[in-house]
Structures are given as structure tokens and as C-alpha cells.
Amino acid sequence: MHEWMARKLSLRLRVFLFFAFVAFGGLAAVLLGLWLGYRRVAEAGVESGFVFAGLVACCGILGLVVWVWFLFDENVAKAIQKLAGGMRARAHADIAEELDHAPARYLGDLAPAAQAITGSLTETKNALAEAVERETTRLAIDNARLQALLGDVPAGVLLCTSDHQIVFYNGQAQEVLSGEVDAGLDRSLLDYLRAGPLQNAYARLVASEDSDAAGDILCAGMVSGEVLAGRMRLVHLPQRSADDPGYVLTLRDVTTDLELHAGREELLEEVFERVRRPAANLQTVLDSGAAEDGNGRAALLGEVGVLTHAITDLGARYDAARGGWWPMEEIRASELVDSVVALTAREGIILTAEAEKLMLRCDAFQIVALLTHLCERLSNVIRATALSLRISAEEDGGALVTIGWFGDVLQVGLLDGWMDVQLEVGLSNVTGRTVLASHATEVWPESGAIGRALLRLPLRQAIPTDRAPAVARRSAIYDFDLMDREPTGALAETPLRELTCVVFDTETTGLLPSSGDEIVQIAALRLLGGKRIPGEEFETLVNPERPIPASATEVHHVTNEMVAGAPTIAVIGRQFHKFAHDAVLVAHNAPFDLEFLRRHEGDIGKRFDHPVLDTVLLSAVVFGQSETHTLDALTERLGIVIPPEARHTAMGDTIATAAALEMMIPMLEGQGYRTFGEVIGAVRKHSRLLKDANSPDKVPG
Amino acid sequence: MTGSETGVDRPARILIVEDEDNIALALSHVLGREGWAVKRVVDGEAGLDAVRTERPDLLLLDVMLPGMSGYEVCQAVRLEPELAEVKILMMTARGNAMERRKGLALGADGFIAKPFDLSDLLDQARALLAGPAEASNA
């Protein structure tokens, strides 16, 4: 009947008919009442007749109005709200699906019209998106280049705001800065470095007349106390006021350098200290002429003994530290050997080479130049044939480089002469001898087996490749928008786009923390203004210290065996608390997840008193309370696809929640909620739906 | 073989190659006091000639010499098979481990760093002169 009317009649006519229906229905109720009342007059009197007529008329009118109201609410008011929600979602986020117009089927042309406008909006958006995409791709390529360059700079490079928040860092910077957590975007540099030198240098530069001035600083790490040498330069960007410019800081760990220098200084001082006194004493004894008698002789011998001992001891210490100052790098023995083969091949020398799996610590460029030089001389001067090169491990932890050939043993005198020739390494005054000296080593000839002659050159430090240290992460992470951000003020005034959020999700043994259910897995992501920060993720299993029911394992696939070796919530909770430091916690149904954590605040030793956003409540603000707000429904509405295998894994749900948050931020802004405070205000209106986790006192313990 | 030489009643002959007069004087004095026949030359070339003509039992060889270095002398002696019986004790003022290795690799029998106690030197010299017997026991 409805369907037929909706199809055949126009919306205006239908609304007119409804009102006509109400009018005639009302009249009919009154007439019916009057007729029934008139019939009662004969039996029960005039008074009762009137009352009865009134009652029947009132009930009839009331029933009619309620029925019509119900139809209007169901098919007009609710439908308009749904349609408006859908349109708003499409206005502020990219949703590819067509507007669902089933609920608004009785609203005439409204639904098709809305569909048309959202459709054309989508088209416009797509065209715009394509243009933006092209431009973005170009920028992304530029950025990738910049990132690759800065990621490979051997110094740590950081860009910070005036209040020392990190906006950019490269992998080296993360290596150099050690703290409770790895350095990351929007963390304060003062958590990693002592504040004094940084603030002094910054103040000096700000006060300086020269806007391009750079200041050198020496600062110490907060945790391990390593010494870092740095250079700070202010960055004057056009969009920032000149009063509080950000700065670029390049950092280098000079702890080792300083220790080396200090060690040398100390050794030198000790040399003078320990040689001066016996030398002076010797002179005095000799001058006095007392040396002739027995006592004087004993005195002389005593002083000489002291001197001898001092020199032997100091010499040994000097030798141990020799070569330490020269910049050395780690290189695979095989690469070094390959370079020599390639270089000698250019001279027409055929060299067979092999190397054991070793990392050598040396100035590879110099060593390669020296070995090439030696091969070339051997071939051209003494007509050596069948040249071979081999690098092998030595028992003392060093490596031995051996050049072999068929021919005469090399004369040491000839070798010494070769060692005085300048090598082509791009530095002046580099000879074989200086290369040997900076590596604290020697080279010598030996005779080998089966008519072969050898040259030996030991290198002091070598590491088997399977124990080689990990290469520093080559990356650069940044969010330059942070530069434009006003210095952090009260959280309530912080725009949504500038919030640092940690989105998280937990998997548990069950739904009732109060009955002893516990967390088995936590995953979290850090977001800045809704955008994920690369590399800033947290995912770990937790030992719940109780069996996981099979029904729970069926949902999240975390088994008892998987968590057996995992740390407990006391440990993980502390790590998670550090990860979420200074951020707004975001979860889908946050009070549920938070209650599992808050129950263990005692063991963890930290309070989870972070500000909280709940995507259930945000969904209610954006889409209206009458919608369903499960994570599946929300992500479906927003066109976010969770792969089925990721659903109900902590990280899968966290990624989905983060994506939903990212899409809802512009929608909230579209509704006029721009700051955290405004959003929390809007959320409170929906707190009937759920507890607001920002009032932890109300959470039952 | 060397044992038969020291076995006969003739003092062991020691050749000192050392360019510094003071230490050479002292060494000659001390080694002579042990009853050994000591001869000294001042550079590597003369040293090598003297080794060839005189076939000393022990060559006390300084590393830092004008002209031909101690290493060169050592290598040259070791390259002549007829000089194989000459023991070589090298002395250097820069006695780090690498130089010791180099000296021993070039054929020296002993290596001693200056400054040294004379008693150490005498011990090493005696051990080298009596060498083969000990070596065969070892």
C-alpha cells in the first residue's frame, strides 16, 4: 500500500492526503462519538451521553495522531537524519559507495536528489583527487630523495620546534639519542639531552644579529651520559613568527673521540711526569761526582731502572692505543679483496684472491691503495707471476693479509723503498709507511711453500661477519606540519588535527575484567593529527597468568603456548605507558580496554590518566545515536576494509580504529568541533551510550 | 752442529752491529766479561760483510741502522744457506709486538726491546748460544 502510494503519488500530494486524512479522521471520530453518545442519552441521561461522546472523540483523535506521528518519525524524521548523516560523511570523507536511499524511500525526490548531489560531489572530488594525486606523487618523489639523502648522512640530523619538540629525525639521530623510548616525532628533545646547553645555544642564536649564525654545542645524553657534539642553526620559515624559530641540530657521538683524546693527553702527561724526575736525578748524581763510589752507583742504577721501567710501560700503552685516532670503517674482507682485484686488473695484472668471512676495521681506501701498489710493484719490478691475495683470520682476533707469487723472495730494502712512495689516495703525504703507521702494523716478506714467496700484512681488528653489528637504520622521519603548530597549550584548546594520539586495542581472555579476565595481546599506533607515524608501532603478546579459554582463542587466535614466554602485564603495561606518554589514548570502546589496564596500575607503577577519545562516541557524534556503532558497522560505513584474517587481531583492529579516527576528524570539524575540548563536550551528550573514559573515577574498580 | 762448535775449546764469537757508540761500548764490555770474543761494526753493509767472512756464533743486530736496516741484514743472512748457523738477536728501541713479529718472521732467533736489563740480554745470548740442545729437549 505504502509502496504503491510512494510510487504513484507525489510527495506534496501525499503530505496533503495525510493532513486531509487527519482532518477527516478527526471529524469522523467526533461524529462517531456524538452518535454513540446520542444513543446513550435514552438509557443513561444527557450528562453521560456528552461524556461518552467526548471520550470516544478524544481517544479516536489521539490514536490517529499517534499513528500518523509514528509514520512520520519512522519514514520522515529518521530517514532525513540518516540521509543527512550519509551526506555529511560523503562531504567530509572519501566514501566510494553510493548513498543508501532505502530508508528515505517515502521522501519523494529527496533521496534521489541527495544521491545525485553526493554522486556529483564524488566525481568532483575524484577529479580533484587525481590532480592532487599527480602533484602529491611529484612531491613524494622529491621527499623520497630528500629522505634517502638525509637518512644516509652519517651525523644525526634533527629539526625541532622552538619548544624542542622533534619534527624531523633521521636514523642516525635515533641511534645517537638514547632514552627510555626511541626518539620519535613530537617527543621532546629534552627527554634525551640535558636541557642547559640546548637552551643556552638556542637563546644565544635567537639573540644573535646574524640570522644565519650557527652555534656549536656539547651536550650529554640524559640516560647513558654519552657526550654529543652538535651544531645548531635556526630555521626561519616564512609562515612562522620571527620570535620563536625552530632549529636544525646535527649531532655526533664524540664520546669515543673524547675518551681517545683524554687518554692520549693523560699518557703524554704521564710520560713527562715519569721521565722528568729520573732524568733530573740522573743529572744531579752525575754532576755531583758521587757516581764514583758505591752509593752513587747504586743511586744511578736505581734511577735508570725507574726510567727504563717507565719507558717500557708507557711504550706498551702507546702501542696498544696506536692507530685509534684514524677514522676507520668496517668493511667485509671480500669487498676489500674485490676492490684490489678490480684495480690491479686495470694495470693488466691477474690476481687470484680469496677472503674468509670477516669484517675488517680499517681505512679501506688506504689499505686497498697500498695492496694495489704492492701488487703493481711486485709484477713490474721483480716480475712476480701468479699473484695471489688472501685475507684470513688470526687467532688473536686480527686478520692477516698475504700476497703470494712465484718468484724471488722480496728484499726488505726494496720493500722499504716502495713504502716511501706516495700513494694515490687523494691526500698528500700518504705513503705505505703512513698507512702502516695509522693501522699500527708492519709488512714483511716471507718465503712460502712450493716455491712461492709471500708478503704478510696483519690488521689488528677483525670481526667474523656473523657477529657484525647491525647497520644503522637508514631512514628519515618527519612531519613538518609540526613546525606550524602553535606551542602546545592547554589540551582542550588543541585542534584535533594537532593531537598526538595513541590508538590501541587489546585482546583478552574474556569480557569481564572484574571476574579475573586479563589481556593477552596489546597493539598500538602513534598518530599525529590522525596520520600514522611510520615505525611508531607497538605490538606484543602478554602472559595473562591464567589459561585462555578455548572460546577466546577461537576469536583472536592467541593460544596458551604463544603467551607462555611473554612478559606479564606489569612489564608490558610499563612499556605501553612509555609508548603512550603525552598522547591522547584512543580505542573503540575505550573503557573496556582501559579497565584491564587500570586494574593493574599498582603492578605497573604508572597511572593511565591520559585524556581519552572513544571511537564509539565519536561515531555517535558524527552519525547520530540511532546508528549501530560496532567497529564492523563503523568501518563499513566509512568504507574501511579490514581483511577477515586481521579482524580480531589486536593490530588489525588498531589499524581499523586508526583509519576510522583519521576519517572522522574532518567530519567532526565539518560539524564545528575543532578542538579536543569541543569534541569532548559533544561526546558527553552521548555518554548515555557509554561511559566517558575521561572520568576514571566513575569506572568501577 | 753449533753444539760441536761451542763444544770445542774456543770462545763463542759475537758480532755486534750497532751505530750508537755508547751502547756498543757497554755491550762489548759486558759480553767480553763473559769470556766471549766480541767484534763490533757500525752499519748494516759492514755487518753483512763481517757475517760472511767471520761466521760469528751470534749476531747482535740493531734494527735502526744508517743505510741498510737491521731487517735487511737479517733477511740477507737468512737467504744464504751457508750462514744458517748464525744466531740472530735483534735489538730495537721501538719494541712493539708487530716489529717483534716482523723480526721473527724474517728469521731472527730472538728479539729484545731497548731499554733492556743487561742481565736479560745475557740470558737470551746464553740461551741462543746453547740453543740446539734446548731445542732438542723441547
d(CA A681, CA A671): 13
**Chain A hits for B94, Cβ within 8 Å:** 315
**Chain B hits for A416, Cβ within 8 Å:** 69, 71-72
pLDDT at B42 over 50: yes
Closest chain A C-alpha to B8 CA, distance in angstroms: 34
Nearest alpha-carbon partner for A585 in A665, A693, A498: A693
What φ, ψ does residue A438 adopt, rounded to 5°? -70, -20
Q: Is residue B8 part of a domain?
A: no
**Chain A hits for B99, Cβ within 8 Å:** 442
Closest chain A C-alpha to B115 CA, distance in angstroms: 6
DSSP A381-433: HS--EEEEEEEEE-TTS-EEEEEEEESPPPPHHHHHHHHTSBP-SSSTT-BHH
Chain-chain contact of B113 with A312 (C-beta, under 8 angstroms): yes
- Each residue of B90-104: pLDDT tens digit? 998 877 788 889 999
Kindly indicate the confidence band of residue B70, based on its pLDDT and cuts at 50, 70 and 90.
Answer: very high
A364-381 helix and A412-419 helix, angle to the nearest 10 degrees: 130
d(CA A586, CA A683): 13
Residue B9 is predicted with a pLDDT of 60
Closest chain A C-alpha to B37 CA, distance in angstroms: 27
Q: Is residue B5 part of a domain?
A: no
Q: Which residues of chain A have pLDDT under 50?
A: 467-473, 487, 695-701
- Each residue of A580-624: pLDDT tens digit? 888 899 999 888 888 888 888 888 888 888 888 888 888 888 888
Q: Give the distance, in angstroms, between the CA of residue B41 and the centroid of all CA atoms in the same chain.
A: 12
Domains identified in chain B, total number: 1
Residue of A nearest to B94 (CA): A315
**Chain B hits for A456, Cβ within 8 Å:** 105
pLDDT at B7 over 60: no
- Each residue of A639-678: pLDDT tens digit? 888 787 778 889 999 999 999 998 888 888 888 888 888 8
Instruction: Give the CATH number, domain containing residue B64.
Output: 3.40.50.2300
* Full residue range of the structural domain in which residue B94 is found: 13-129
Residue A463 is predicted with a pLDDT of 64
d(CA A569, CA A509): 13
DSSP A276-329: HHHHHHHHHHHHHTGGGSHHHHHHHHHHHHHHHHHHHHHHHHHHHHTTTTS--E
Residue A611 is predicted with a pLDDT of 87
Residue A524 is predicted with a pLDDT of 94
Chain-chain contact of B75 with A458 (C-beta, under 8 angstroms): no
**Chain A hits for B75, Cβ within 8 Å:** 409, 411-412, 445
Q: Is residue B1 part of a domain?
A: no
Q: Is residue B117 part of a domain?
A: yes
Q: Is residue B124 part of a domain?
A: yes
**Chain B hits for A412, Cβ within 8 Å:** 69, 71-72, 74-75, 106
Say which DSSP state A3 is in: H
Q: Is residue B6 part of a domain?
A: no
Chain-chain contact of B72 with A441 (C-beta, under 8 angstroms): no
Q: Is residue B118 part of a domain?
A: yes
Residue of B nearest to A415 (CA): B72
Residue B58 is predicted with a pLDDT of 93
The number of residues making up chain B comes to 138
Lowest mean pLDDT among A102-111, A161-170, B14-23, B58-67: A102-111
User: H or E element: which one contains A49?
Assistant: helix A46-72
Helix (H, G, I), strand (E, B) or coil at B17: strand
Residue of A nearest to B102 (CA): A444
Report residue A538 as a C-alpha cell: 607497538
**Cβ-based contacts under 8 A for chains A and B:** 51
DSSP A187-227: -BGGGTB-HHHHHHHHHHHHH-S-TT-EEEEEEEBSSS--E
Q: Is residue B36 part of a domain?
A: yes
Q: Where are the alpha helices (DSSP H) in chain B?
A: 2-7, 21-33, 44-54, 70-79, 97-105, 118-129, 131-137
Nearest alpha-carbon partner for A666 in A90, A129, A224: A90
CB B109 within 8 A of CB B87: yes
